[in-house]
Amino acid sequence: MLEKAFGKSIENLIEIQGLATAPEHQGKGYGTALMLLANAMADVQKRGVYLVTTDAHGFYQRFGYRVVEEDVLGVDNPKWTGEPVHIRVRKAEFRGKIMEFVKDAFGAQVNEMYDLQSLATAPEAQGQGYASALVNAVTDMADAEGRDTWVITVSASGFYEQLGFYIVREGVLGDDNPSWEGGPIPVFVLRKHASNAKGSPKNDMVEKC
């Protein structure tokens, strides 16, 4: 993979390995400081820098790095029991952008809300009201505590709107990833006010991310 990407020029490049920030110190700029230091050292030596990552290419692109080669681990190993790495990368990218949408929609108040995740009904049981019952069970618990509920979906916004949710944010996945081969994926963030809470859908303005 590296030979394909750089050939013999790799001998003149500086490699970054094992860059990580302890969870309790993330978001404080330490990772950024380490990257700036590495880049500065490379600049002094007038050498390029390369690194390999499975799920943080977006972070490195902020510092002038670009993807020059992609590969997949695990697909040709019969002993590999986990997901192929490229699937894990896509999931990490999805989660990161989803949380950006949610943060833009609700800010700090999201910590006081209920959220629905991974709601699905088996195909043979669809159309029998199970999904509606599950959603109502969650929103009933939220109502009892005076909390709002939010959910994010790519294709079921109409279903949630029938149950009292309304769209507060719209976004797109895949539009800023040059390695994404499919079309852009629309994403909707929806909210349902607690039945005993003040406010109404009219008080929130739908925004597109």
Q: What is the pLDDT of residues 174-199, one digit of tens each?
A: 666 666 666 778 889 999 999 865 44
Which part of the chain is CATH 3.40.630.30? 86-208
CA angle 52, 53, 54 (to 5 degrees): 135
* 116-121 long-range contacts, CB within 8 A, separation 24+: 116/149, 116/150, 116/151, 117/151, 119/151
- When comparing pLDDT for 75 and 154, which is higher? 154
- When comparing pLDDT for 156 and 78, which is higher? 156
Residue 89 confidence (pLDDT) = 62
Percent of the chain with pLDDT over 70: 73
CATH topology of domain 86-208: Aminopeptidase (3.40.630)
In tens, the pLDDT along 91-127 reads 666 667 777 888 888 888 888 999 888 788 888 888 8
Does residue 149 register a pLDDT over 90?
yes
